[in-house]
């Protein structure tokens, strides 16, 4: 049961990294209106669209939509839909503050969980799954500095809530799984703080380099996982302590024209178990309008 509990936490934390495909975590904090076509492979494979509308009074509306698959140790979501929306404001000037509020929503009809356990001289394997929904909302404040349009740096503080709800399921009884578990509907929630920074540089011949890094910490954590096993009754898992992890983003691209850029990017997390080190890599085609 402890494996299931850790898998739930791993999925909740990794949803932030998976959401980078539909947010602006791979872009400048302040930029002109643009549209991105993205596709990635790895622990979070996905494809979709994201973009922003920039208004002359310093207001930006950002959003995106993607379809994808999450697949890492003990957890598989074969087909997930993901969407995001963010509102950001920064006054004019080469050096100025910014504030934003945003959110990401994901859902899937099937989230599969796998656990292994000792059964005499062999290993038992239980597997099953149900519906899945994830939600993340945040508020962010920071500072942005531009240097002549060729480079931009930003730092920020963020606080928000990440949550997920999971449908119940019954594992299949078999020779491989003689002690099947009945897993009730449950969910998880974290209040997460983040300290982050970004830097983007464009050379005179059209090369663009982007790097982003943040340190995240869960200040509170709720966990609901009702489980019963035939012949043993209800079983309680060991609580998973609050997590701290690092998020990193990197992008390297080149202009195909005056308003089009093709980039290769990498996104990932790094933390102790159960967070682990999920990673994804992909291509991003940006069109500025």
pLDDT value at position 120?
A: 87
Average pLDDT, the chain: 94
DSSP state letters, 204-233: TTSEEEEEEEEEEEEEEEEEE--EEETTTE
Neighbouring-strand partners of residue 69: 45
Quick one: pLDDT band at residue 241, thresholds 50, 70, 90? confident
| Helix or strand holding residue 182 (H, E) | strand 181-183
Instruction: Report the CATH number that the domain containing residue 70 is assigned in CATH.
Output: 2.40.128.130
Residue-range definition of the domain harbouring residue 177: 2-288
**Euclidean distance between CA atoms 17 and 44, whole angstroms:** 8
Tens digits of residue pLDDT in 119-157: 888 999 999 999 999 999 999 999 999 998 899 999 999
**Euclidean distance between CA atoms 16 and 108, whole angstroms:** 16
- Sorted by sequence, the CB contacts under 8 Å of residue 116 that are 6+ apart come out as 3, 123, 124, 125, 126
pLDDT value at position 177?
A: 94
pLDDT value at position 16?
A: 84
Residue bearing the bigger pLDDT, 221 or 210: 210
For the segment 280-285, the average pLDDT, to the nearest whole number, is 97
Global confidence as pTM = 0.92
Tens digits of residue pLDDT in 24-71: 999 999 999 999 999 999 999 999 999 999 997 899 999 999 999 999
Tens digits of residue pLDDT in 81-129: 999 999 999 999 999 999 999 999 999 999 999 999 988 889 999 999 9
| Helix or strand holding residue 269 (H, E) | strand 260-271
For the segment 10-32, the average pLDDT, to the nearest whole number, is 93
Number of structural domains in the chain: 1
User: Is 90 exceeded by the pLDDT of residue 239?
Assistant: no
- Count of positions (residues) in the chain: 289
Percent of the chain with pLDDT over 70: 100
Sign of CA dihedral 130, 175, 119, 230: positive
∠ CA 34-35-41, nearest 5°, is 135
pLDDT value at position 202?
A: 96
């Amino acid at each position: 049961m402890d494996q299931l509990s850790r898998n739930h936490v791993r999925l909740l934390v990794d949803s932030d990294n998976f959401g980078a495909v539909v947010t602006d975590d791979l872009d400048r904090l302040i930029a002109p209106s643009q549209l991105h076509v993205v596709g990635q492979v790895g622990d979070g494979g996905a494809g979709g669209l994201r973009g922003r509308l920039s208004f002359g009074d310093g207001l930006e509306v950002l959003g995106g939509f993607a379809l994808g698959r999450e697949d890492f140790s003990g957890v598989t979501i074969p087909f997930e839909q993901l969407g995001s929306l963010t509102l950001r404001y920064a006054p004019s000037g080469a050096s100025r503050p910014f504030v934003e509020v945003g959110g990401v929503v994901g859902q899937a009809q099937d989230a599969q969980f796998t656990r292994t356990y000792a059964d005499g001289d062999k290993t038992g394997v239980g597997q099953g799954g149900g519906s899945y929904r994830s939600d993340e909302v945040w508020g962010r404040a920071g500072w942005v500095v531009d240097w002549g349009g060729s480079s931009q740096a930003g730092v920020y503080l963020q606080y928000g809530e990440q949550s997920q709800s999971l449908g119940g399921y019954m594992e299949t009884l078999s020779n491989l799984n003689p002690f099947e578990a009945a897993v009730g509907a449950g969910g998880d929630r974290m209040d997460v703080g983040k300290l982050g920074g970004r830097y983007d540089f464009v050379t005179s011949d059209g090369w663009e380099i982007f790097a982003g890094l943040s340190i995240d910490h869960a200040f509170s954590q709720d966990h609901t996982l009702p489980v019963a096993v035939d012949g043993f009754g209800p079983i309680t898992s060991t609580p998973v302590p609050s997590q701290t992890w690092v998020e990193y983003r990197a992008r390297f691209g080149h202009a195909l024209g005056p308003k089009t850029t093709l980039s290769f990017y990498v996104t990932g997390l790094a933390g102790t178990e159960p967070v682990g080190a999920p990673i994804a890599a992909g291509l991003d085609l940006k069109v500025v309008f």
